Amino acid sequence: MSRITAVSEAEATDKVAQTYDRLRELLGDAPLPEPFLVYASVPAFLQDFYMNFKKFVYSEGKLDAKTKATVALAVASATRCGAWIDLMSERCRQLELPQQHTADTLAVAATCAMYNAFFKFRDISGSDLFSGMGVGLRAHTFTNTSLDERTVELVNIAISDLNGCKPCTSGHVDSARKLGVSDDAILETVQCAATMAAGCLFLNAAQ
């Protein structure tokens, strides 16, 4: 049972109706995705999310649309938000990414989270004892999917930041820079991830 009543398109008034109109311009004539109807229970959040979603998730910027959709899908996976996993998987298909792309993105995000758990423990354990011990975790997923190396690093930055793993975040930022990713593109990756995290967390709590 939902904790929050969604605002249907027929019920929308004032600023919610205006934002719905802008969303239709962005997304097309199909019915608006359910998350936006839930966000409309707090009009200010709906407006903020729409503006951030349009700029940092949906539209071309320092990152291309395919990369943004991939990062957004990874964040939806990391936050366990089924509705946004479905929506961003469909977005990837619309952008003509291969069918395997969704599974590969989820696998890279999960592998990154595994490493985050290890390196965050090593960082916050309060002991130097563990820094000299081997990782011992396999991570062939990073180099054996349909995702290119640059995209893998950007997904890793997003997930590592979301999980609060300083060693992983800084390491993947360095790796991305060595691959020629600009600082502006790295920042936009984080902005994309932050936007999606907010939308997923609100939706998860509402449902």
Residue 96 belongs to some domain of the structure: yes
Residue 186 belongs to some domain of the structure: yes
CATH (domain of 110): 1.20.1290.10
Q: Rounded CA gap, 4 and 18, in Å?
A: 21
Residue 158 belongs to some domain of the structure: yes
CB-CB contact of 141 with 108 (8 Å): yes
Residue 7 belongs to some domain of the structure: no
CB-CB contact of 105 with 155 (8 Å): yes
Residue 109 belongs to some domain of the structure: yes
Residue 77 belongs to some domain of the structure: yes
pLDDT at residue 76, as a whole number: 98
Residue 18 belongs to some domain of the structure: no
pLDDT at residue 133, as a whole number: 62
* pLDDT averaged over 10-residue windows placed end to end, the chain, 207 residues: 86 96 93 96 98 97 98 98 97 96 97 92 75 74 94 98 95 97 98 98 94
Q: Identify the residue whose tokens are 């599974």.
A: 103
Q: Rounded CA gap, 193 and 179, in Å?
A: 20
Residue 45 belongs to some domain of the structure: no
Could you tell me the two tokens for 119?
């390196």
CB-CB contact of 6 with 37 (8 Å): yes
pLDDT at residue 1, as a whole number: 54
Domain that holds residue 141: 60-206
**Count of the separate structural domains present in the chain:** 1
